[in-house]
Structure 1
Amino acid sequence: MPSVETNGSNGDSSYKFFNVIDGKPRPSKDHHQVIDPRTEEPLWDAPIATPQDLDDAVAAATRAFKTWKNSTTAERQKAVHEVAEVILKNVDILAEVQMRETGKSKTMSKFDVERAAWHFEYYRNVTLEDELQYEDDTVQIYSTHQPIGILGAISPWNFPMILSVIKVVSALATGNCVIIKPSPFTPYSLLKFCELAQSVLPPGVFQVLNGGAELGEQMTLHPGIHHISFTGTIAVGQRILQNCTKTLKKVILELAGNNACIVCEDVDLAKVVPLVASGALFHAGQVCVASKRIYVHESLYDRFLDMLVEESKKYVVDDDENSPAFSPLSNKVNYDRAVGIVEDCKKNGYKIVTGGDVKPTGKGYWITPTIVSKPPEDSLIVREEQFAPIVPVLSWTSEADVIARANLDNAGLGASVYTPDLARARKIAAQLESGTVWINQFERPHHAGFFGGWKLSGYGGELGKEGLLHYSQIKTLQIAK
């Protein structure tokens, strides 16, 4: 069970947090505290890992990998299942900690933790098999899959459990060891998860180190780490890619998604508007695949806009921690950035049809759902990913034109298309330069579907059976007959 104290700062109890190295909690001389996005009060002490901690973790992972890489598929699947059980047994602890660090509601945070367990259970039954590639009278050629080594995983703050677990389970299921660094904005849930997971995993197979950009930089340059998986901004991803070339590390990057949502003229607005609103405003727009630019056919634009404004009223600024869908922005850095986008819209005279209020309550990093009608295509709100409940709604009449406008270089992560004509939807989807296209549903990755960005939105990918290929080395066996 987790270490708990009763003299905490924010909340009924105060948990103790440690880096985890070689199966054991390791205290630190230096700490930092995260600010609760709802109350703007400090949370618990989070340990800051040192360069020596990183070296020790790499040494422990190197020792563990000698055995773990030779584990059978059945042994790894058993371990993956046991980690899922650990998550579910501790769902209340993990959900409370994540709720405090992210500003999510109790309902949303608990769902995130439960979904993290689903990812482990999915890979309990999904694996890569040897595959016969070619055969004739003289030779058989097989493709086989082996682990890469030690993964350095660098995680984001918007969904700390789900997006971290994707990296952890993909590594473990393929026989790799993993050292994960949570975002310094949301370290607590991942530190606690790793601590709890030690009860079912060999020492050194799964470790966690908390720190900021400096620690991440050290991980990407460390010669003992063979593979990096990162979720975050384009600028940091480019830096990581450059660093990894120095030791030829394998790399997975999930980066910005300035995702386009295309609404055709033949939709049923009563069905579609609530879906689009959820795609844009869930978790205050802090979703990598959220609808960041909504393109609506001109013939129904006015009706769509009126209905979207009404629908947005359901996403209210609410101090009730049980309110499921909406939340404050998770940290002051993202809040300040979002405020800058709102101020840019006001300065340039763009038509804000609802919202525009920043800091509507006395505490918390709240921004009310803000809808901007027909800003210029080269405006900041259209050109850059908002990662906030600030949504531009634009119009279109020509399919070729809207597809061209949708295909920005930073919009290669996801897109959505709404039309009851599935042949038309697939035709449009085929022309969208995006790793995933959702048709007649709002954007949410599924654990069974490969997920990776195109262009500036990513490099490599994760999830689904295909995702395991990015955590494996392919070895070819040529067998003479």
Structure 2
Amino acid sequence: MDDLAFFNTINNDRSSSENQESLLAPRSNKPLWKVPLATTADVDAAVAASQEAFRSWRQTPLEERQSQVRGLARLLEENKALLSGIISQETGKSTLMSDMEVDGSIDFLKFNAAQSLDDEIAFEDESLKIVTTYHPLGVVAAICPWNFPLVLAIAKVAASLVTGNCMIIKPSPFTPYSTLKFVELASAILPPGVLQALNGGGDVGAMLTQHPGVQKLSFTGSAATGKRIMASAAGSLKRITLELGGNDGCIVCDDVDVERVAREVAMGCFFHAGQMCVATKRVYVHRSVYPEFMTHFLRTVDGLKTDAPVEEPSVFGPISNKMQFEIVKALIEDCEKNGYEVLTGGTNGVGNGLWVSPTVVNNPPDDSRIVKEEQFGPIIPIMIWDTENEVVRRVNDTDCGLGGSIWGKDQERIQRMARSLETSTVWLNTSPRPVPMGHMAGWKESGIGGEWGRQGLLAYCQVQTLQISKSQV
């Protein structure tokens, strides 16, 4: 793979730049491929190409758009090894994890290719019929994160293209490679201007956010950046979708199979070394099962091999970039400075890359940084709870509301608790497993609007109402 080249894609043409950079592989800190940085002229050219393509793409029959999206799924299947290898290099994921990301991308394409937004009769009586219709918005800019660079981009692509929009993707500057390569490959299938990709930093994101030729912006990333995007987009009243951070709580009740649940919860905490928006980031265990839970949880954590080779099947890996590595390192140091009991891990890194040992903090106070902040890394606080009202209050005591999970045999009880949580998605008796069919949104500072599922298509549509009088004219 050393001979790979990467380009921006504008109007189905490869586009390079005099200004290029090479990023570092998280597993080794060695340089990866050179990648071009987009310019203001590139942004303007891409928006103009999207605007031109939208005129015909929106008129393309739905069946044809669905067929094109299914074609993208086949494209991924044919290039799975290539894209999986790129993902492993840029994120540090194992081959197992990178294969899973490509498979998840295929699932999003196939799910959305099967969707349509037919007219709906909202109301009808003897004198009036109200019909709801759905129309594409136009040019959509997608600003994507670094933790799952391909699947989170393609989830936006699939919904946007099926509904008749054109899309410009800006991948994370930490992980641009797989997205750029996918869009380059997709240019062999899609009409010019329908799907484009521009690599760059915050300057490119700001240009897309402020550009008057962009009708919608979809962003996945941190709450701090989301707030800046929302303020910037206000100047042109763009439609926005913000899927932001989470500090997801997990509640373990006293009636569970403790060994099995401890193992499952550990996987929910340390999947991709905790670098997932809906990863479990706080665990609350009922006092009566806490000691037994901790025994099995720590046994599972001890079995997570740090610095495993990329070919070894593992859901654990390094921190994907230096910025996040320093954030996790600071949280570990804060726990140690404040005397919180660190049961395992606690080292700042091992190996040549950005590795952090899985770290478990025993019952820190609710106002500690490790409880209040989203760590987005392999460090997890585990706390004791006694009453249902108490634990629900503590889980809700956060500015975030993206996801959460509850484990218990009493279905009435755990569903009652789930409905009391101020969070968009609650997983019951399963670790967080986002799927294309399930709508994802955020409460509080975890986002504005939502994506995925059938509801997610509406985020890419303008709703039009036809009020049809039945009287004769």
Q: TM-score range by the shorter chain?
A: over 0.9
The partner residue of 1:198 within 164, 187, 193 is 187
Contact 1:296 1:395 in 2 (8 A): yes
Per-residue deviation, 1:444: 1.5
SS of aligned partner of 2:400: coil
Corresponding residue for residue 417 of structure 2:
428
TM-score by length of structure 2 reads: 0.98
Corresponding residue for residue 321 of structure 2:
331
The partner residue of 2:166 within 159, 167, 177 is 177
1:366 has 2:381 as partner = no
Corresponding residue for residue 65 of structure 1:
54
Contact 1:315 1:326 in 2 (8 A): yes
Contact 1:256 1:410 in 2 (8 A): no
Contact 1:260 1:411 in 2 (8 A): no
Distance 1:20 1:314 in 2: 43
SS of aligned partner of 2:218: strand
The partner residue of 1:167 within 149, 156, 164 is 156
Per-residue deviation, 1:409: 3.5
SS of aligned partner of 1:15: coil
Per-residue deviation, 1:13: 2.2
Distance 2:219 2:158 in 1: 15
AA of the residue aligned to 1:302: P
The partner residue of 1:41 within 27, 30, 39 is 30
Distance 1:314 1:331 in 2: 24
1:295 has 2:284 as partner = yes
Residue by residue over 1:270-307, the C-alpha shift from the partner in whole angstroms, topping out at 9 and shown as x without a partner, is 22011101100010000110000000001111111111
Per-residue deviation, 1:370: 0.3
1:110 has 2:99 as partner = yes
Contact 1:149 1:225 in 2 (8 A): yes
Alignment of 1:188-337 (within 5 A): 188-323=177-312, 324-337=314-327
Distance 1:410 1:186 in 2: 28
1:343 has 2:343 as partner = no
Alignment of 1:438-449 (within 5 A): 438-449=427-438
Contact 2:307 2:355 in 1 (8 A): no
AA of the residue aligned to 1:216: G
Corresponding residue for residue 4 of structure 2:
15
Residue by residue over 1:99-124, the C-alpha shift from the partner in whole angstroms, topping out at 9 and shown as x without a partner, is 10000001110110121011101112
TM-score by length of structure 1 reads: 0.96
The partner residue of 2:374 within 385, 400, 403 is 385
Structure 2 runs not aligned, ≥5 long: none
Distance 1:96 1:39 in 2: 15
Distance 1:125 1:297 in 2: 43
Structure 1 runs not aligned, ≥5 long: 1-11
SS of aligned partner of 1:330: coil
SS of aligned partner of 1:63: helix
SS of aligned partner of 2:463: strand
Distance 2:228 2:400 in 1: 19
Corresponding residue for residue 91 of structure 1:
80
Contact 1:284 1:329 in 2 (8 A): yes
Residue by residue over 1:346-393, the C-alpha shift from the partner in whole angstroms, topping out at 9 and shown as x without a partner, is 0000000111112222x0100111000011111110000010010000
Per-residue deviation, 1:238: 0.5
SS of aligned partner of 2:96: helix
Corresponding residue for residue 389 of structure 2:
400
Contact 1:34 1:42 in 2 (8 A): yes
Per-residue deviation, 1:14: 2.7
Per-residue deviation, 1:406: 0.4
Distance 1:350 1:23 in 2: 54
**Percent identity over the alignment?**
45
Corresponding residue for residue 52 of structure 1:
41
AA of the residue aligned to 2:390: D
Alignment of 1:351-362 (within 5 A): 351-361=341-351
- Note the aligned Cα RMSD (angstroms): 0.8
1:144 has 2:133 as partner = yes
Quick check: 345-354 or 269-278, which moved more? Answer: 269-278
AA of the residue aligned to 2:134: H
The partner residue of 1:459 within 448, 455, 472 is 448
Per-residue deviation, 1:17: 0.5
Distance 2:147 2:3 in 1: 22
Corresponding residue for residue 415 of structure 1:
404
Per-residue deviation, 1:171: 0.5
Distance 2:53 2:90 in 1: 31
Contact 1:409 1:456 in 2 (8 A): no
Quick check: 320-329 or 142-151, which moved more? Answer: 320-329
Distance 2:348 2:101 in 1: 27
Contact 1:38 1:319 in 2 (8 A): no
Residue by residue over 1:123-150, the C-alpha shift from the partner in whole angstroms, topping out at 9 and shown as x without a partner, is 1212211100111122211001000110
AA of the residue aligned to 2:417: I
Query: How many aligned positions are there?
Result: 469
Per-residue deviation, 1:71: 1.4
Distance 2:316 2:268 in 1: 12
Distance 1:408 1:183 in 2: 30
Contact 2:160 2:460 in 1 (8 A): yes
Corresponding residue for residue 142 of structure 2:
153
Distance 2:399 2:87 in 1: 29
